[in-house]
A = this chain, B = another copy of it.
């Protein structure tokens, strides 16, 4: 089944203890699409400027990603610049040049309308809602958000949350959304806002999935699931790790016939595998040179380090 991701395609200038890179290909949709492409067909809706060259598009198309929905407009692409020199676990933003992304109005190509799996990456919840409503036939919708939308656009975001099958966020976002500091209470609070299931990423502490009685359409309350992270000593650049997690997670789900508790658990492990690969080089460079075999080895390693 194909997955459609709507989100940013950008250039990132990155500074970490491992070095500095100017304008590498990035953006949530890029990381997500590359990660998901190891499992299923991926379609992208986004906007880029004139600095987005055929060589950049080839990074996506060479992985079989459909870029019919990647709109090219006059101007420059979204550019973000961040530094992890102070703390590898959170970036200091040095510049956010929205450029063509400031007027992003997602357009779904007709050829995308049969998409069954939709991922709403971190963009304005008004746009997330608009895309969602243009895809009435979709089977499963997952999405992400960030602190800015949670604090300054909460009402718009709440509308989106009510429509989501799976919300994929990090622990800071779960705390902000719920107002709770305890992980389990925070998750319960977020589920109370409407998403059927919730995945919370805890960086090097792995991730957890929390379920509601509507998670699997069977009315049953399933217990949470706790996935470890791949132990990583050398984090080169954490940018995009969360989007790579989401791409591996949702890409695997889209490759399966049905969303069952077993599929959801395995998808968490695949998400961890892709997230851990992502941080081993700048931007999306590591994902561009990985293989399904390598991903499967990480999956096996996660099982090995967490199972009795």
Contacts and interface: CB of A to CB of B under 8 A. Distances in A.
Contact of A269 (B227, B304, B308): B308
B226 A304 contact: no
Nearest to A225: B305
A interface secondary structure, majority:
mixed
B304 A223 contact: yes
- Interface residue tally on A, bucketed by range: 20 to 34
Q: Which of A88, A205, A303 has the most CB of B within 10 A?
A: A205
Nearest to A307: B307
Contacts of A308: 262, 265-266, 269, 303, 307
Interface of A: 88, 181-185, 188, 202, 204-206, 223-229, 231-233, 235, 262, 265-266, 269, 301, 303-308
Given A185-B233, A223-B304, A269-B308, 20 more contacts: A88-B182, A182-B232, A182-B235, A183-B231, A184-B231, A184-B233, A188-B233, A202-B205, A205-B205, A206-B226, A223-B305, A224-B305, A226-B228, A226-B306, A228-B228, A265-B308, A266-B308, A306-B306, A306-B307, A307-B308
